[in-house]
Amino acid sequence: PIPVIIDCDTGVDDALALLFAVRHPGLDLRAVTCVAGNTDVDGVVRNTLTVLEIAGAGNVPVARGAERPLLEPARSARHVHGDDGMGDIPGLPAPTGTPVEADAVTLLRREILASPRPVTLIPTAPLTNIALLLRTHPEVAGNIERIVFMGGAVATGNATAVAEFNVWHDPEAAAILLTAGVPITMYGLDVFQRVVVPGTDVRRLRASAEPGARLAGELLAHRPSAPDPDGDDPHGGLGDAGAVCAVADPAGLTTELLPVEVSLAAGPTRGQTVVDRRPRPGESELHGDTRERQLVDVALDVDVDRYVKLYLGAVEGV
Ligand code: BDR
Ligand code: CA
């Protein structure tokens, strides 16, 4: 299996991502690190431990990371993820386990360097921990296969008109990631918002006798997507879990290698991922723009049915 580490801000859809990573036989979840984002970092740690324990993966090490972005204040997303940061689902148990003593950056370094195979990092949250890791321990880059992050957008944003929440929450951290020279896949809003589980599947999950599958159903029910074009069948978006699907099954994603930069300016573009989609043959046509920019595999299209099937197959164990 592919060794993976998830850096998250659990988070309704981060929880969906964790459930999938634990269950997919092609993935080996080595550690989970937590960062402030959807809720405060202690809430993220609590939610992450609870999800892993329900999924029967209480042995996966969990570490507490940054409690605020590099420059910005922490700004929670309670309006999306509820007061507890995970949908306020009734009856969720408090975790019995605790995070490891090491902080997130230390655990990331340790697990990356100890892995016999290069690790795939999957950040589904503001990129504060990842930026601190890359700056503090640049030697980890040698044992990172790829960083597949949920964040950014080619087109429209969600936190602002042009900025996606994870990048907008800590734009400087995202800029550090996007100039680190590590292979990167950007699983942005353009694909993130499209992978939606039909209502019939959500209802089946909610009725499951298996605790992990049932939790996935509850979480999906908390994430009704845009109004159902076929009527009033409620259904739910996989969100961050789609980025983990992209690691398990990269062929379901259509990407293009493009220059990406983060806007760090104050004002309406702050946190925007500026994706350069100009045709590139004959570089001289790029009037005036001669800066070196890192190329990123930007997700432009996704096979929705394939990822929904992949997700359900893993979480329901079929
Ligand atoms: C991202 O923001 C968070 O609210 C979600 O968990 C996801 O990672 C989407 O913009
Ligand atoms: Ca998230």
Report the side by side order of strands in the sheet with 184-187: 62-64, 27-34, 2-8, 119-123, 144-150, 184-187, 295-302, 253-262, 273-275
Among 38, 122, 193, 272, name the best residue to mutate to test ligand 1's pocket (greatest count of ligand atoms within 8 A of Cβ).
38
Spacing, Cα 163 to ligand 2 middle (Å): 15
What residue owns the CA closest to ligand 1's atom 9?
165
Give dist(CA 219, CA 225) in Å, integer: 12
Query: Which residues are paired to 293 by β-bridges?
Result: none
- HSE of 100 in the Cβ direction (CA atoms, 13 Å)? 20
Q: Please, what is the Cα angle at 318 between 33 and 17, to 5 degrees?
A: 20
Q: Tell which residue, 224, 2, 17, 46, has the closest CA to residue 125.
A: 17
Q: Tell which residue, 36, 55, 44, has the closest CA to residue 85.
A: 44
Counting atoms of ligand 1 from 1, which one is nearest the CA of 158?
A: 10
Using a 6 Å cutoff on CB, does residue 165 contact ligand 1?
Answer: yes
Query: Which residues are paired to 121 by β-bridges?
Result: 5, 147
Among 240, 244, 272, 273, name the best residue to mutate to test ligand 1's pocket (greatest count of ligand atoms within 8 A of Cβ).
240
Q: Residue 289: enclosing H or E segment and its boundaries?
A: none
Arithmetic mean of pLDDT, 177-205: 95
Spacing, Cα 11 to ligand 2 middle (Å): 6
Please tell me the total number of residues recorded for the chain in this structure: 318
12 neighbors 238 (Cβ within 8 angstroms):
no
The single-letter code of the amino acid at 67 is E
Query: ipTM higher than 0.95?
Result: yes
Convert the pLDDT of each residue in 34-54 to its tens digit: 999 999 999 999 999 999 999
User: Would you report the helix, strand and coil content of the chain in percent, each value rounded to 5?
Assistant: 35, 20, 45
Q: What is the pLDDT of residue 286?
A: 57
Spacing, Cα 240 to ligand 1 middle (Å): 7
Counting atoms of ligand 1 from 1, which one is nearest the CA of 38?
A: 4
What residue owns the CA closest to ligand 1's atom 4?
38
Alpha carbon 130 to its chain centroid, in Å, reads: 12
Spacing, Cα 124 to ligand 2 middle (Å): 4
Among the residue ranges 16-20, 101-105, 114-118, 277-281, the one predicted with the least confidence is 277-281
Residue 171 has pLDDT above 80, yes or no: yes
Counting atoms of ligand 1 from 1, which one is nearest the CA of 150?
A: 8
Alpha carbon 284 to its chain centroid, in Å, reads: 36
Q: What is the pLDDT of residue 82?
A: 80
Q: Which residues, in sequence order, are CB contacts of 173 under 8 Å at separation 6+?
A: 69, 70, 126, 127, 128, 130, 131, 132
Give dist(CA 230, CA 234) in Å, integer: 10
Band (230; pLDDT cuts 50, 70, 90): low
Give dist(CA 172, CA 181) in Å, integer: 16
- HSE of 313 in the Cβ direction (CA atoms, 13 Å)? 12
Spacing, Cα 125 to ligand 1 middle (Å): 6
Write the burial class of residue 225 (CB in 10 Å: 0-12 exposed, 13-18 middle, 19+ buried): middle
Question: 154 is written with which tokens?
Answer: 């080619």
15 neighbors 53 (Cβ within 8 angstroms):
no
Give dist(CA 242, CA 265) in Å, integer: 30
Using a 6 Å cutoff on CB, does residue 190 contact ligand 1?
Answer: no
Spacing, Cα 292 to ligand 2 middle (Å): 30
The percent of residues in the chain predicted with pLDDT above 90, rounded, is: 83
Spacing, Cα 149 to ligand 1 middle (Å): 11
